[in-house]
Chains A and B, each alone.
Chain A
Amino acid sequence: MSRNKNVFEKKKILIVDDSEINRALLSDMLSNEYEIVEAENGLEASAILHEQEQEISLMLLDIMMPVMDGFETLEVMNKNDWIKDIPVIMISAETVPAYIDRAYELGVQDYINRPFDEQTVRRRVVNTILLFSKQKELTHMVTNQIMEKENDNKLMIEILSNIVEFRNGESGLHVLHIRTLTEFFLKWLIEQGEYGLSQEDIYLICNASALHDIGKISIPTEVLNKPGRFTDEEYEIMKGHALEGARLLQDIPLRENEPLIQMGYQICRWHHERYDGRGYPDRLKGDEIPIAAQVVALADVYDALTSKRVYKAAYSHEKAVEMILNGECGVFNPVLMNCLRETSADLKEELARSEGQNFQEEALDAVEQMIESGEVEVSDRTFKLLEHERVKYKFFAELSQEIQFEYTVTPEMLILSEWGAKYLNMPETFLNPKTEAFATSVFAEDDFLHLLEKLENSTPDDPVIEEKYLLNINGHERWSKVIARSMWSSWEPPEFSGAIGKIVDIHDELEKMNHLQVMAAHDSLTGLLNHKTAKTQIEAILSRDTERKYVLIVFDLDHFKQANDTYGHLFGDEVLKYVADIMKRNTRSFDIICRMGGDEFLLFMPYKDEIEPLVKRIFLLLCGQYKEFLISVSMGVADAKECGGDYDSLFHMADKALYKVKRGGRNNYCFYKNELTGGDVQ
């Protein structure tokens, strides 16, 4: 009987073995209690892990396999950190000790000898899964505890500082401002590489900065809250708060070695020291004053200036910065003065931004940092969110009916969306994709490499690229657009880690565009060029070929109106088509033939020696009969040599010659040659 009450809660086991019998054997032993996923080799396994890392509770892995063997699989799991989350049990028939050692070194949890014994297999699997989930649960608990502890710590510090400030008649905002300012200055120092500070130092100093004035708790209220000027004696009492704060911290029993206490001590005691040695209480000079105290001192002065006090109004940011830089509040470290000068504008913005922001965020930052440095694992909730995103992505990928892909650098792998793989009739995963079908047969040689190069040369700030390629989709050449986004590592400097993207078919769109272009250039009835296009092409030739041995012929059909009137417009159209066909058949590809409109046509062609035989040939070709209609034409001819390269002049010359023919009784041709000379055809 199955021990699981709910089939949906079955844990998933991935079995990786090249022998179908072995997989079936293991599956048979385990399938009552677990959901089984099978892979034939390491590559298939990698693809499954890539997709559903979070769902796999255990992996049974053979060593000897084609395509990608067990060791290579373990290496990939190490590179991707999967080995931390998924326990692996080796199931190889391999008994050579060196192999087994190597497997353990690569992070394998356990080893099951062949032949498989049902009881042993089930026990080992259960134990390994239990052990691993226990570990995960523990790290999760630890994470939450750290979070809580950090929050409590901060809260205690805030309460304490608030008490002090309340007594001081100030709002609790002062502590918040000091924190923001301190963090801001420290970050700048880190960027400049000054004082060898680290992120953790920032965290500690910012927390401790809240304690800077706790010594004021021992100052009598009438002094602390006196509205007017202090007497010398009162001022001395006030100054006592620095030493007093340090003493308070030092006296906390058994805690003197806590970093927070030590940092707090420095800050309390020395946040009124000045760089020139004229501060109090110890008159330290220059970098004898710890940098944390120097920074808090600057923050304290700035905030005092920009806040309203019983004895003064609030100064503007600009005024406060000016006063500090002028040394009106004592001398500060020149490095910090540089910082203030350079970052003045940013500082103003930062303060406006941080107003009203919650402290919770910083606690989160701290935990995030620990996660980054590997101290704690990501919580289960994050996994669930990731899983949610994965399902969402898969659903939309399916709906969109696009070829989507994901490319990773380590291991170098290309994964197609389920729909895309089916559409292309290809596997979903390629190892070494550069040499595989997707890159070599779908893309033209080099095009895929070109795409990768484009992606690698993009930047994290501008990661999206768009390229057009002629792709081979299932044996058809299709113009396609590839839209892709490069992916980068989160560390500095960012490293190219892969890309995601999709392929959009734009072939029909492009064809349509081309078709429209053709349509726009041609006369729809005869398929000849229209006048505008012909003109453009002729102008190009005239400017390109300065010898200009071309002839321009314009002609129209004599008495065409009668054809229309007598036999109808459809018949008229047929005549025009007939004439166009004669011209198409009797001209060469580089001749330009055009219907200008109505029954007017234009011909532009090169000639060798003499013009007249050419013109005469065409004239005779056109004279004939279409059904009942006798066709004759009137033709005006001009030599491009005489136009000075200007199309409009050339056209005007031919048109003039045409006019002459018409006036002379039609059915003839005429050259424009300085003066007009007629042909000899009657």
Chain B
Amino acid sequence: MTVKECYEAIGADYEDVMGRLRKDERVQKFVLKLLDDKSYELLENSVASKDMSEAFRAAHTLKGVCQNLSLTPLFQSASELAERLRNAQDYDEDMEPLLEQVKKDYTHMIDCIRQLT
């Protein structure tokens, strides 16, 4: 699978990332780093332990990373989640669908990236 095919499978914007980062190898290198990135894990753990400010930061980091790599679906769902979590004191049920969406996008994205290796 090429990087471009991987981006297409994810539903991400390959043109955009190439426009900014310039090199296919570079994009590949950083996308692969996502496999070791702990932000999603941190997000899940923080939600589980009801630490909302930590959860906000994790979602925010996830958003930033995805934005840099033009990983559009997860960027969008992570942004929405981050905005909902901003200044949130407690867990609320309406966060659930947002969390679900992030989980879905993240899982799909990671599955696609794994095929790159």
Contact surface of A with B, Cβ cutoff 8 Å? 18-22, 24-25, 28, 62, 64-66, 92-94, 114-118
In the complex, what residues of A have CB within 8 A of residue B16's CB? 115
Further contacts, 12 of them, CB under 8 A, given A18-B57, A28-B29, A116-B68: A18-B61, A19-B39, A20-B33, A20-B36, A21-B68, A25-B30, A92-B64, A93-B60, A114-B67, A115-B20, A116-B20, A118-B20
Asked if A22 and B64 sit within 8 Å, CB to CB, the answer is yes
Instruction: Kindly state whether residue B37 has any CB partner on chain A within 8 Å.
Output: yes
Contact sample, A vs B, 28 pairs, CB 8 Å cutoff:
A19-B39, A19-B61, A19-B64, A20-B36, A21-B33, A21-B69, A22-B64, A25-B21, A28-B29, A28-B30, A64-B57, A64-B60, A64-B61, A65-B57, A66-B57, A92-B64, A93-B60, A94-B60, A114-B64, A115-B16, A115-B17, A115-B20, A115-B69, A115-B70, A116-B21, A117-B20, A118-B21, A118-B22
* B contact set with A: CB distance below 8 Å: 16-17, 19-22, 26, 29-30, 33-34, 36-37, 39, 54, 57, 60-61, 63-65, 67-70
A-B complex: 10 closest residue pairs judged by Cβ atoms: A93-B64, A117-B20, A114-B67, A115-B67, A115-B68, A64-B60, A19-B61, A21-B33, A21-B65, A116-B68
Picked from B37, B63, B70, the residue with its CB within 8 Å of the CB of A21 is B37
Do residues B26 and A28 form an inter-chain contact, with CB atoms below 8 A?
Answer: yes
Chain B residues, Cβ within 8 Å of A93: 60, 63-64, 67
Q: Given A64-B57, A66-B57 in contact, is the A22-B65 Cβ separation under 8 Å? A: yes
Q: A19-B37, A21-B37, A24-B33 are in contact. Are A114 and B57 (CB under 8 A)?
A: no
Instruction: Tell me, in angstroms, the Cα distance from A111 to B21 when the chains sit together.
Output: 19
How far, in whole Å, are A20 and B64 apart by their CA atoms in the complex? 12
CB distance from B19 to the nearest CB of A (A): 8
B19, B20, B26, B37: most-surrounded residue (chain A CB, <10 A): B20
Please name the residue on chain B nearest to A26 by beta carbon: B68
Q: Is the interface of B mostly helix, strand, loop or mixed?
A: helix
In the complex, chain A residues whose CB is within 8 Å of the CB of B17: 115
CA distance A62 to B68 in the complex (A): 14
Cα distance A98–B3 in the bound complex, in angstroms: 38
Question: Which residues does chain B contribute within 8 Å of A21, judged by CB atoms?
Answer: 30, 33-34, 37, 65, 68-69
Residues of the B chain whose Cβ atoms lie less than 8 Å from the Cβ of A115: 16-17, 20, 67-70
Nearest chain A CB to B2 CB, angstrom units: 20
Nearest A residue (CB) for B37: A21
Residues of B within 8 A of A94 (CB): 60
Separation in Å of the B35 CB from the closest CB of chain A? 11
Minimum distance in angstroms from A40 CB to a CB of chain B: 12
CA distance A438 to B108 in the complex (A): 45
Please tell me which one of the listed residues B30, B54, B64, B70 contacts residue A24 in the complex, with CB atoms under 8 A apart: B30
Contact residues in A for B54 (Cβ distance below 8 Å): 66
Within the complex, what minimum Cβ distance (angstroms) separates B58 from chain A? 10
Q: Give the docked Cα–Cα distance between A92 and B57 (Å).
A: 12
CA separation between A85 and B61, bound complex, in Å?
Answer: 29
